[in-house]
């Protein structure tokens, strides 16, 4: 049991974030949850809730308020993000993706890091994606922001170690998951269930994994992707 442990889950209104929040509650964590649509957070069983839009500047102040109401934070779990295929490179889709997945991610992960820096220890876990492995033509901004997230977490881990802080990081990279994020007409292969993904995530957090690709099929796939030279990759039609 984790009765004395406190976790905050950002992006807990649906999908993976909600499933992880519910698992943490069942394990005995004291949980605070946040999302843009606060009305969707009521059935999780969390102690505290907060309406947070990660694209807004006041999101960091709201996070600090949530931490204070919860009595502190040991685990920061980040699950917010958007993504769409954008083969036509529509400007509004690309910029909205950048605003949420790059700026919003940096804003919230950065604030969690600063809190743990003050405290001297903590655990930051964030959902990124296997899409950060290579630039994906059907989703340029999405794959670019996911690669940025991977690199940002790696950089913070190095920074934390250099400062002698006890901050742990878990970069969680799922493949295709059956959530509202994938609600278009495209048929996605090797679709994962959010419940199974959430269980894998919680295990990875307990095991203090640095990087966790979910599941074994995607671990093989991304390993193969990394072996493909750029001159071949740029000619592949996805």
pLDDT of residue 185: 60
- Is position 188 annotated as part of the catalytic site? no
pLDDT at 2 over 90: no
Q: Where are the domains of the chain?
A: 6-233
Q: Among the ranges 41-50, 100-109, 190-199, which has the highest mean pLDDT value? A: 100-109
State which H helix or E strand residue 91 sits in: helix 91-98
Domain 6-233 has CATH 3.40.630.30: no
| 42-68 mean pLDDT | 95
Question: 184-211, pLDDT tens digit by residue?
Answer: 565 566 778 889 999 999 999 999 999 9
- Percent of the chain exceeding pLDDT 90 equals 82
228: Cα within 13 Å, side-chain hemisphere: 15
pLDDT of residue 1: 55
Backbone angles phi, psi at 28, to 5 degrees: 100, 5
Residue 134: closest CA among 146, 120, 123, 118:
146
pTM recorded for the entire structure: 0.93
For 116, the 3-state DSSP assignment is helix
Q: Which residue is catalytic, options 113, 142, 152, 218?
A: 142
| 224-232 mean pLDDT | 95
pLDDT of residue 39: 87
pLDDT of residue 182: 53
For 208, the 3-state DSSP assignment is coil
């Amino acid at each position: 049991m984790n009765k004395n442990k406190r976790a905050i889950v950002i992006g807990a209104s649906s999908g993976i974030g909600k499933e992880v929040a519910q698992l943490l509650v069942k394990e005995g964590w004291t949980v605070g949850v946040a999302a843009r649509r606060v009305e969707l957070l009521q059935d999780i069983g969390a102690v505290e809730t907060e309406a947070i839009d990660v694209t807004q500047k006041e999101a960091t102040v709201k996070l600090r308020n949530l931490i204070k109401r919860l009595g502190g934070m040991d685990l920061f779990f980040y699950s917010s993000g958007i993504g769409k295929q954008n083969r036509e490179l529509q400007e509004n889709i690309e910029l909205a993706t950048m605003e949420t997945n790059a700026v919003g991610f940096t804003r919230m992960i950065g604030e969690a890091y600063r809190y743990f820096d003050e405290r001297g220890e903590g655990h930051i876990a964030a959902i990124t994606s296997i899409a950060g492995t290579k630039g994906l033509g059907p989703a340029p901004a999405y794959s670019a922001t996911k690669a940025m997230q991977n690199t940002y977490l790696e950089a913070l881990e190095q920074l934390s170690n250099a400062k002698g802080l006890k901050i742990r990081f878990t970069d969680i990279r799922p493949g295709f998951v059956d959530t509202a994020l994938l609600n278009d007409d495209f048929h996605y292969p090797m679709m994962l269930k959010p419940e199974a993904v959430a269980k894998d995530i919680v295990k990875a957090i307990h095991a203090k994994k640095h990087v966790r690709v979910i599941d074994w099929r995607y671990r093989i796939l991304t390993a193969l992707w990394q072996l493909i030279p750029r001159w071949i990759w740029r000619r592949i039609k996805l």
